[in-house]
Chain A
Amino acid sequence: MAHDGDALQYVQYHGAKEETYLPAIRQLISKDLSEPYSIYVYRYFLYQWGDLCYMALDSANELIGVVVCKLEPHRSGPCRGYIAMLAVRESHRGQGIATKLVCMAIDAMAARDADEIVLETEVTNQASLKLYERLGFLRSKRLHRYYLNGNAAFRLVLYMKEGTALKRPPVVDGQDGQMMGGLQKMEEYKGFAQDAEVT
């Protein structure tokens, strides 16, 4: 992808940079949202998985693009990476910036032993579908009225390791998998990974 996104700098987020970057991240992400996320949603991800957030900055240190992720064991067993947010400034789209950011995030999650990476995107979001599918994601399911505007979503999945489909949660002493799953399920509640079932 020899686009001219080269003058940009790609940097990993760090908690110490919250004051500098969080307002810009929020602004960039909210542009394409009908309603804003509260700051706690951003912090939920950035506080725990700041190292899975990458930013594209121009020479004036302006934020051009960002990707926000999380990574943790999923209740169904595998260690699941989740791409929660991705956006590139409108003036800079189509230059491979998002692709680069997503690749960096995937590499980082792979380095941290992710079995799979998932996300949801609107069924009509051609740019996003094309970007992820080019990298190897497949659509695994369609989610009816996933968005409140009534639109459906595709769940996209990328397996990173053989045997992911058969992974099961570890059984901890005296606690069955179900209980363990309980908390996870809550974690995955609507909005991000709506239906966290087994398929």
Chain B
Amino acid sequence: MADPALLYHDATASDADTLTASNGTGPAFASAESSRFAQTSLPLRQAPRRGAPPHIRDVTEKFTAACQALDVGQLVKDEYFTLFESIGAIEIMDPKMDSGFLQPGETLEDDFDPLAPLLPEELIGIMDQLLSYEMAWHTGYPLSQTLFTSVYIDRLLWPEPESIPQAQFYRDDILDDKRPGTLLDVLRAYCLALIKGCDYVIAKIMARDYFEEEDFSTHTYNRVLFVQAPIDVFLRELDASVEMIEDPDLQIDGGIRSAIVARLHFRKTFLCALDPECPLEILSSFWPPVVPFIDQVNDTHILGKTVPGSFSTKIQRRLASTVPPRPIVQVEFKDALQTLKQLCIDCKEATRFKDLPTDPLEYQSFLWTFASRQPAPLTYSRSYLSNILFDPYVLNAPVSLPLEDVQSFVFHESPILDPSNWALSPPRNPLMPKSPRLQFALLIDEFVERVGQSYLDLWVALGQNKCRLRRMLTHVIIAWDMLQQDAVFVDADLIAYALQLTISEEVMDGPLQTWVYIKKLWMIEKVVVLGFEQDIYLPDEYAGIYYFLSLMATKRKDALKRCVEHTNDRTVQFLQSSRFEDAQNTSEKISFIDSELQQATGISAFAKALHGIYTIANYLRLLPSPNRPFSTESLRYELRMKPFLSLQPPEVPPFEEFQAAVQPYGTYSDPSPSLHDDLRQADCKVWSDIDTSLKNAKDAFAKVKKYGAKESKAGGVEQAWNKEIQGMLASCIALGVTVAGLKSAVKDIEPGSKVQVKIEIPPAGASKRYVEGWIVPKIVKG
């Protein structure tokens, strides 16, 4: 069911998995400008126009009279009253919903005095509490339940100060004896920098695609987080505070003194790292200095003394929001620090992006690996990386990034991409035909333009949280499917002009569509693998889903094979015409394609082996299999295939074909008698198919490993890449053990008898799998 906690969200149209376009533009992505969120045009009631003076009319009498006309329980619902509105509605006088409702004796405001002098240990306690809430906010909770519950922060921000000097824990004039002392001044500096940091964080996140509430809450409830003030102001306040604390005249314990100084230094380094104006080239130098201060904060946390009264849910009543007061989010300080540390590590990692070679496939490897980091990067870290990716410096690469990608697969020293094609000018007389080489250039330009948005969509998807990534990919795939249909036409034109020039043997058959197809199949495979990772499939579905995965990887393998063959042909052609340098260049390109080919081969073979073993497990009734009175196999198949049904190619196999693949011996409950005969013989086809697939998988992955990360265009993430390929190899070995175990368990099996073993499925997300998306079952004594 839905969580009522979702009910009071302030309206942000972030519900649909619509692809939100990014605002990155560059030569490769000419048409990338479009709106962030799909606008909905709703026949809604007119909202009161902004700026119109409020017009107050007393409707009590009318309302009472109208109510009289209704029986208790009789409802009137106008057609505009949607679920959304019912969710946003509150009940007056219900203490849990009505924020104006006061229990007997309860006061509206807190009586905490933010000008009361603080003890040094209390200062530490408050700073640390604020840091905890800041991190809770980073993990997705709204400011209203975290930082904005601080009386100090509230005072600084409201009423809205006109300048930073005016942002005090008091407003206007104050008696000298009430003037805040040193420690309060220090707390103020700390809070100011903290607030400015929040402003930076929001700015960075909002500059990219994110999903309100699901990822992060950017709501500031009409509080302005010093948007206009430059960073120096805050740094100066922090520096001044350090000086005040270090002043020998200040009577304060040495340990506490340095604990406070460490917190101020932390704030300063952190704020600098968050500064969105940081130039790209030196980004990476900003994160390492933060970490030692985090450690110092950690070590001295024990010195602090909490001041619980300085935080209150009552402040929420005054925030511009329809949300009823919600409890303050509680986070352990050590968890908060862990989150903070991870954020610094992830952002530092993200800065490595700018050092990657200018190669979109390296970018893709990096993005994928980043999204797969454990623990999952926070929204801020993901936005941070996206901001680097979409930095003009990266996007305005001298080469077209999508075209680079195409070239890595299909055009090698190709006449189609010959730079001289672009130097040709069209005939003066527009009625005269353009030269075929000029046509090549025009067609390629047009295609690159056409690819831009789909290409960006893929990158945007790779920047989302992984659940969102899986869902978004299913949409990106549809867009690439349409792209493929267009590519077919461009290919036909290319080949027609190649024929005119009698160089058709130098052009691969259907180059552009092949490239699109390879990318699309890769995405389909990812959707499936992510499904395993996210625990989407039930154990008795594994056989069928791995069957489908194997099928998709086989198609990609076949397409890649054609690329390899073409590249080989080209090399031979060059050698024959003594173009040795071109031959050399072309054959060097083969490593990458062959590495991809081996990767696809491994995936297809390993998935096939898993399909085999899970099919046997289904027959042996070793996997839970609910009876599902309301469903049928074909309905479930349709549901599973839904994201791919419209694609052509690859066409989703008809249900009958699927069924034949997962139920080769008839139904699981009443299999054909030959099943048991076959299972008893370790060399029978059921088993030998699995053995062969497993061997093929191992061989293929071993070849990939030999190529290494760099040749596979994952040089920027070598460590993770190695770990993954090692994991695939380990998975193969583990599956071999399982196969052997199961074989021996069924060597005497008779129809009707029960196998004396059980199958264990390693759970997702518990480090029990070598690779999260690959579920290798384990055989245990029954």
Closest Cβ of chain B to A39, distance in Å, is 6
The distance in angstroms between the C-alpha atoms of A192 and B466, with both chains bound, is 21
Q: Are B15 and A194 in contact (CB under 8 A)?
A: yes
Closest Cβ of chain B to A3, distance in Å, is 16
Q: Are B467 and A186 in contact (CB under 8 A)?
A: no
The distance in angstroms between the C-alpha atoms of A152 and B466, with both chains bound, is 12
Closest Cβ of chain B to A28, distance in Å, is 12
* A43-B86, A190-B87 known; A195-B6 Cβ under 8 A: no
> Beta-carbon contacts of A48-82 to B below 8 Å, as 1s and 0s?
10000000000000000000000000000000000
Q: Are B89 and A34 in contact (CB under 8 A)?
A: no
Interface members, chain A 104-159 (any B CB < 8 Å): 106, 119-121, 123, 133-150, 152, 154, 157-159
The distance in angstroms between the C-alpha atoms of A39 and B77, with both chains bound, is 13
CB < 8 Å neighbour of A33 from B3, B86, B636:
B3
CB < 8 Å neighbour of A138 from B475, B639, B645:
B639
How many residues of chain B are within 8 Å of chain A by beta carbon?
A: 74
Closest Cβ of chain B to A62, distance in Å, is 20
Q: Are B7 and A40 in contact (CB under 8 A)?
A: no
Q: Are A149 and B642 in contact (CB under 8 A)?
A: no
CB < 8 Å neighbour of B7 from A19, A35, A47:
A35
Q: How many A-B residue pairs have CB under 8 A?
A: 228
Q: Are B538 and A148 in contact (CB under 8 A)?
A: no
Q: Are B77 and A48 in contact (CB under 8 A)?
A: yes
Interface members, chain B 597-631 (any A CB < 8 Å): 626-631
Q: Is A84 an interface residue (CB 8 A)?
A: yes
Closest Cβ of chain A to B543, distance in Å, is 15
> Beta-carbon contacts of A177-199 to B below 8 Å, as 1s and 0s?
00100110111111111111111
> Beta-carbon contacts of B39-61 to A below 8 Å, as 1s and 0s?
01111100000000000000000
CB < 8 Å neighbour of A192 from B2, B40, B44, B90:
B2
Q: Is the interface of A mostly helix, strand, loop or mixed?
A: mixed
Stretch at the interface among B91-99, B174-182, B192-200, B481-489: B91-99
Q: Are A144 and B214 in contact (CB under 8 A)?
A: yes
Q: Are B465 and A197 in contact (CB under 8 A)?
A: no
Closest Cβ of chain B to A24, distance in Å, is 14
Closest Cβ of chain A to B74, distance in Å, is 9
The distance in angstroms between the C-alpha atoms of A41 and B537, with both chains bound, is 32
Closest to A46 in B: B75
Q: Is B209 an interface residue (CB 8 A)?
A: no
Q: Are B15 and A190 in contact (CB under 8 A)?
A: yes
Residue of A139, A196, A198 ringed by the most chain B CB atoms within 10 A: A198
Please, which residues of chain B bring their CB within 8 A of the CB of A163? Answer: 638
Q: Is A166 an interface residue (CB 8 A)?
A: yes
Q: Is A164 an interface residue (CB 8 A)?
A: yes
Q: Are B475 and A150 in contact (CB under 8 A)?
A: no
Q: Are B630 and A191 in contact (CB under 8 A)?
A: no
CB < 8 Å neighbour of B15 from A139, A152, A183, A195:
A195
Please, which residues of chain B bring their CB within 8 A of the CB of A160? Answer: 630, 635
Please, which residues of chain A bring their CB within 8 A of the CB of B535? Answer: 123, 139, 142, 154
Q: Are A198 and B475 in contact (CB under 8 A)?
A: yes
Closest Cβ of chain A to B79, distance in Å, is 9
Interface members, chain B 526-584 (any A CB < 8 Å): 534-538, 541
Q: Is A15 an interface residue (CB 8 A)?
A: yes
Please, which residues of chain A bring their CB within 8 A of the CB of B630? Answer: 103, 106, 135-136, 158, 160
Closest to B42 in A: A182
Q: Are B629 and A135 in contact (CB under 8 A)?
A: yes
Q: Are B83 and A15 in contact (CB under 8 A)?
A: no
Please, which residues of chain B bring their CB within 8 A of the CB of A101? Answer: none
Q: Are A138 and B468 in contact (CB under 8 A)?
A: no
Q: Are A119 and B471 in contact (CB under 8 A)?
A: no
Please, which residues of chain A bring their CB within 8 A of the CB of B42? Answer: 182-183, 186
Please, which residues of chain A bring their CB within 8 A of the CB of B537? Answer: 139
Closest to B43 in A: A183
The distance in angstroms between the C-alpha atoms of A185 and B639, with both chains bound, is 21
* A35-B5, A187-B82 known; A145-B213 Cβ under 8 A: yes
* A133-B626, A189-B84 known; A145-B215 Cβ under 8 A: yes
Please, which residues of chain A bring their CB within 8 A of the CB of B18? Answer: 197
The distance in angstroms between the C-alpha atoms of A140 and B91, with both chains bound, is 35
Closest Cβ of chain A to B106, distance in Å, is 19
Please, which residues of chain A bring their CB within 8 A of the CB of B640? Answer: 138
The distance in angstroms between the C-alpha atoms of A183 and B80, with both chains bound, is 9
* A34-B3, A189-B82 known; A40-B89 Cβ under 8 A: yes
Closest Cβ of chain A to B238, distance in Å, is 32
The distance in angstroms between the C-alpha atoms of A136 and B83, with both chains bound, is 27
CB < 8 Å neighbour of B1 from A121, A158, A183:
A121
Please, which residues of chain B bring their CB within 8 A of the CB of A136? Answer: 626, 628-631, 635-636
Closest to B75 in A: A47
Please, which residues of chain B bring their CB within 8 A of the CB of A195? Answer: 15-17, 471
CB < 8 Å neighbour of B631 from A33, A37, A159:
A159
The distance in angstroms between the C-alpha atoms of A66 and B41, with both chains bound, is 36
Q: Is A162 an interface residue (CB 8 A)?
A: yes
Closest to A29 in B: B1
The distance in angstroms between the C-alpha atoms of A144 and B534, with both chains bound, is 10
Q: Is A86 an interface residue (CB 8 A)?
A: yes
The distance in angstroms between the C-alpha atoms of A195 and B641, with both chains bound, is 19
Closest Cβ of chain A to B323, distance in Å, is 10
Q: Is A85 an interface residue (CB 8 A)?
A: yes
Closest to A116 in B: B639
* A134-B626, A136-B630 known; A199-B645 Cβ under 8 A: no
Residue of A85, A137, A160, A186 ringed by the most chain B CB atoms within 10 A: A186
Q: Is A36 an interface residue (CB 8 A)?
A: yes
Q: List 18 A-B contacts (CB under 8 A).
A: A15-B75, A34-B4, A35-B7, A35-B326, A40-B86, A43-B77, A119-B1, A121-B1, A135-B630, A147-B3, A148-B3, A150-B141, A165-B639, A183-B43, A188-B83, A191-B4, A195-B16, A196-B16
Sorted from nearest, which 6 A-B pairs have the closest CB atoms?
A: A136-B631, A148-B5, A136-B628, A189-B84, A44-B86, A197-B17
15 other A-B residue contacts (CB within 8 Å) besides A34-B3, A44-B83:
A35-B326, A48-B77, A84-B1, A136-B626, A138-B639, A141-B467, A145-B140, A149-B5, A152-B467, A159-B631, A165-B641, A182-B43, A183-B82, A186-B42, A192-B2
